[in-house]
Amino acid sequence: MYIPPHFEEADPEQIAALIAAAPLATIVAQTADGLVANHIPLIAAPGALIGHVARANDMHRLLAEGQEVLAIFRGVEGYVSPNYYPSKPEHHRHVPTWNYEVAHLHGTIAFQHDDKAKRAAVGLLTRAQERRLNGDAAWRMADAPADYMAQMLDGIVAFRITVTRVLAKAKLSQNRNARDRQGAIDGLAADGAAALSARMAAR
């Protein structure tokens, strides 16, 4: 990934926040059948990413144990018009661009077929999402009948990606002067891109 110095994101807390806010990763890997990509929600653990796939998904058959994979997390993004910049009428030396946040986590994957690993993968993901969405009324795995949950778990394969390299980029108009950057923040907010505008304002 091309990362100009002013867009490099090196803060582990910012990267962790991006993953937590946008957990649906694109996992890319090279296989005998060519490149494959799967879209899977992941949970970050110390030095690792945890997830699961349907047993019917060929991903766990196509990828070798310990194979390198790339997990891509994409945060807020949006089109930035030159019309947002107050300096545009003065010299017209602006072109459109796209602002975004993204993290690339490289690592090696290991699949886990045991019940304990599968329960942990599902439990970590649902706990995080349910608490965010439903608070004290969060759904728990124990809410489902034991035989039904066992059937559901039998239909998945857990996996763990041991992270070996992290590259992250936050392209949020840091290369603009303060007046034009504020113009982009205000313009995006006015055009309905509140999340992107807020992230830019917070940086």
Residues 155-180 have pLDDT tens digits of 999 999 999 999 999 999 999 999 99
The pLDDT, as a whole number, for residue 121 is: 97
Adjacent-strand bridge partners of 170:
101
The pLDDT, as a whole number, for residue 35 is: 96
How far is residue 133's CA from residue 96's CA, in Å, rounded to a whole number? 36
How far is residue 14's CA from residue 86's CA, in Å, rounded to a whole number? 29
- Please state, in angstroms and as integers, the Cα–Cα distance from residue 176 to each residue in 4, 109, 170, 181, following that order: 14, 40, 14, 5
Domain ranges of the chain: 5-75+100-173
Q: Is 148 helix (H, G, I), strand (E, B) or coil?
A: helix
The pLDDT, as a whole number, for residue 203 is: 85
The pLDDT, as a whole number, for residue 36 is: 96
Burial classification of residue 40, based on how many CB atoms lie within 10 Å of its CB (0-12 exposed, 13-18 middle, 19 or more buried): buried
CATH match for 5-75+100-173 among 3.40.50.300, 3.40.50.150, 2.30.110.10, 3.90.180.10: 2.30.110.10
Which stretches of the chain score pLDDT less than 70? none
CB 72 within 8 A of CB 25: yes
Q: Is 29 helix (H, G, I), strand (E, B) or coil?
A: strand
The pLDDT, as a whole number, for residue 25 is: 98
